[in-house]
Amino acid sequence: MLIPAYYHAPDDLGGSVPMRGDDPRNDSIFSYVTPEARVRADHPLRPIRGMTDAALARLSPRFDRLYSTTGRPSIAPEKLLRALLLQLLYSIRSERLLMEELDYSVLYRWFVGLSMDDPVWDATTFTKNRDRLLAGDIAEAFFAEVLAAIKQEDLLSDEHFTVDGTLLEAWASHKSFKPKDTPRTPPDDPKNPTVNFHGQVRRNDTHQSTTDPDARLYKKAVGREAKLGYLGHLLTENRHGFIIDTAVTEASGTAERDAAIAMLGELPLTTRRLTVAGDKAYDTRAWVAAVRRMRITPHVAQNEFGYGGSAIDARTTRHAGYRLSHRKRKLVEQAFGWLKTVALFRKLRHRGGRLVDWLFRFGAAAYNLVRWRNLAAHPA
């Protein structure tokens, strides 16, 4: 017999009782399910956790040298670095918000290595412990360990590369960009002071940001607005687009080419002829000549409207490898896109060139982990 949806079972008093379930509060003291059991077997964080743990295990002797043998134990560096990875992978905008989400997220606790009952650190304590890793150049070591593991999988090209740079907007406003020799006076409104710099000539050699003194006023292209920031540089390989090297420099008109020469100079010596792709900003006679002296063929885009014309002629452009380099050059844009949108490097959340450089390299390691995970899941 079909029972209507509105049917209510009779109770002892002749009325009816709704056929709905109860909603009790279950504030259980004990839980017998571990975070490991709550994270599904095919969760995308699982391969990244495995790759990260392998790299951190190889860095364990280096961690030992950073910490004193006396005093109270600090945050384990392995847990600290996994938490920083989470911040990049899930676009968490601050350490304070990271600690808040780490407190109630079972997934985050599992990835970092915290049990359900472990207390979460204070945001200030977390930041101070991160600065200890900054002093030990752990970001560079972690990046190198991840890259070495990827190289063992034979996923890197050791012949064909791409260089590029991008503007990283500093955490500082135009109102903080003031003359260096002007004494600081209390603002009329601490939150939003009245500043009128229209008609003034503002230059990096005469002005400086009071918020982030390392930031420089710079415009990426003609017709674009000038912003306070740094320049972030990447050297990628052309097989799968992994990041090989990074650099953060002061923003200037020659910084991209200077950083590219420095990164290319760090490549291992080989008897084979290497190639490097780049956009039109690298098409200058001095840069092309410097690269060729390094036994590297420059496959940069031709700038026909530059001073004196392009430094690249048909001896380079007639080869199929030149066209292939320009198709592969787009892979570096994927790396910049991920770093700026997912890892939140479009607008920096930290101040000081050294800290920005540390975090940018650590972000590059995170990108390589994601790229490696994706290739392992979908092999060619």
Ramachandran angles phi, psi of 8, nearest 5°: -120, 130
Among 66-80, 99-113, 163-177, the least confident range: 66-80
Domain at 283, CATH number: 3.30.420.10
- Say what the pLDDT of residue 356 is: 95
> In the chain, count of helices (H) and strands (E)?
14, 10
Asked if the structure places residue 10 within a domain, the reply is no
- Give me the pLDDT at residue 5, please: 53
Tell me whether residue 141 is in a domain. no
When pLDDT is averaged across residues 170-199 and rounded to a whole number, the result is 78
Both 304 and 172 in one domain: the answer is: yes
**What CA–CA distance (Å, rounded) separates 228 from 105?**
36
| Residue 125 sits in the same domain as residue 160 | no
Whether pLDDT at 299 is above 60: yes
Mean model confidence pLDDT for the chain: 88
Same structural domain for residues 67 and 212?
no
From the list 156, 177, 210, the residue with the least C-alpha distance to 331 is 156
Residue 70: pLDDT band with limits 50, 70, 90: confident
Q: Does one domain contain both 293 and 347? A: yes
Q: How many domains does the chain have?
A: 2
User: Which structural domain range is residue 313 located in?
Assistant: 155-183+202-361
pLDDT in tens, 125-153: 898 888 888 877 899 999 999 999 999 99
Contact criterion met (CB below 8 Å) for 89 and 342: yes
pLDDT of residue 27: 67
Question: Residues of the chain with pLDDT > 70: what percent?
Answer: 91
- Please give the pLDDT value at position 264: 95
Of the candidates 368, 154, 144, 142, the one whose C-alpha atom is nearest the C-alpha of residue 242 is 368
Same domain, 119 and 76: yes
Distance CA(56)–CA(224), nearest Å, equals 42
> Is residue 84 situated within a structural domain?
yes
Sign of the four-CA dihedral 34, 35, 38, 43: negative
Domain assignment of residue 1, yes or no: no
**88 found inside a domain:** yes
Q: Which of 331, 242, 316, 244 is nearest to 273 (CA)?
A: 316
pLDDT tens across 322-366, in order?
999 999 999 999 999 999 999 999 999 999 999 999 999 999 999
Question: Looking at the structure, do residues 110 and 229 belong to the same domain, yes or no?
Answer: no
Residue 216 within any structural domain of the chain: yes
Question: Are 239 and 283 members of one domain?
Answer: yes
Residue 262 lies in a domain: yes
Q: Is residue 305 part of a domain?
A: yes
pLDDT band at 193 (very low <50, low <70, confident <90, very high): confident
Does residue 279 have a pLDDT over 80? yes
Residue 301 shares a structural domain with residue 178: yes
Task: Return the number of other C-beta atoms located less than 10 Å from residue 217's C-beta.
Answer: 18
Residues 300 and 167 in one domain: yes
* Beta-bridge partners for 169: 229, 347
pLDDT digits (tens, 9 = 90+) for 204-226: 888 889 899 999 999 887 778 88
Residue 237 and residue 301 in one domain: yes
Q: Are residues 84 and 209 in the same domain?
A: no
Three-state secondary-structure class, residue 240? coil
